[in-house]
Amino acid sequence: MQPTVFTAHPQPVTIRGRDFVWGARTYVMGIVNVTPDSFSGDGLARDVDAAVRQAVQMQADGADIIDVGGESTRPGSAEVTEEEEISRAIPVIKWLVREVDVPVSIDTYKAAVARAAIDAGAHLINDVHGFRREPEVARAAAEAGLPAVAMHNQRDRAFTDVVGDITVGLLESLRIAREQGLAEERVIIDPGFNFGWTEEQALEMLRRLAELKALRRPILIGTSRKSTIGKVLGDLPAGQRLEGTAATVAISIANGADIVRVHDVKEMARVARMTDAVVRGWPRSAEA
């Protein structure tokens, strides 16, 4: 497989005073699940101390962003109320903004939760419905001067073509962002690996990821421990999908991913660094 070479990149985005320079290197987002029913088996429920310890270790292992989620997004999971999600996630965010130096993100599609997280000090909003469930999420980010991640969610949507459907969905998310006052330059896109796709379609997404560069936005992708990896490797449980995750992370980077969202930060930061050396060149400056 030949790595794709990109000569033009979106403008840098500043998050918590740090410039994220797209194309310089791959950034790593560490996942902190404060849920009782995470698909990956790493949910910490209401254990704030454990969540903070996990995040601190992730920063030490190379995480550039910590993403906190208070509601499971696995297929078939029950939605929780705004109050429940806030009670799970916000205490963790309040501690993390004091205990880590990297940006802290809230993984939510609810405007009330996003606003509570912003009040608690969050630096980034990560919306798995791309503002299409609650457009006010984009407005909350805009009013706070924060960037946001808009993910395309294919669940319950008619299928036409993998990249075509993702593109249509993300263009709608970008339209909503503009309508709500959030500049397109502040939006990071996510194609939504495993959110409503068959295994074959999810793998096609990775093969064709570079096509999404046409949207001229930074690309985040989250393949970590997902069920497609388990299926390909013979129905492996989530805890045994490390090598499969590493393969998908490397291929995603080769095809243009700017941020990889992962559970196993230490290992995937190494994968990203090695893949960057091949794709982007080595040695690179210490500032990159």
Residues annotated as catalytic (active site), given as ranges = 226, 261
CA gap 7, 219 in Å, rounded? 15
- Phi, psi at residue 31, to the nearest 5°? -95, 125
Q: How far is CA 260 from CA 12, 64, 161, 185, in A?
A: 17, 10, 24, 19
Length of the chain as a residue count: 288
Backbone angles phi, psi at 281, to 5 degrees: 105, 155
Q: CA angle, corner 149, sides to 113 and 224, nearest 5?
A: 100
Outline where DSSP puts E strands in the chain: 13-15, 18-20, 27-33, 65-69, 104-107, 124-127, 148-151, 187-190, 220-221, 259-262
Determine contact, residues 178/137, Cβ cutoff 8 Å. Answer: no
Question: CA 275, 276, 279, 285 torsion: positive or negative?
Answer: negative
Report cis status (omega within 30 of 0) of the bond before 75.
no
The Cα–Cα gap between 111 and 117 comes to 10
